[in-house]
Amino acid sequence: MKEFFEIIFSFDFKRIFCQPTKNSLLQFFRYAFVGGWATVADWGILYILTELANVHYLISGVASFVTGLAVNFILSKKFVFSAEENTHSSSTEFIVYAIIGIIGLIMTEAIMYILTDKLGIYFMIPKIVATAVVFAWNFLARKIVLYR
Domain boundaries, the chain: 2-145
**CA distance linking residue 129 with residue 133, whole number of Å:** 7
How far, in Å, are 28, 30, 70, 79 from residue 35 at the CA level?
Answer: 10, 8, 11, 11
Whole-prediction pTM value? 0.77
**CA distance linking residue 108 with residue 105, whole number of Å:** 5
- Which residue stretches of the chain have pLDDT < 50? none
6-32 confidence digits (pLDDT tens): 887 888 888 887 788 888 888 888 888
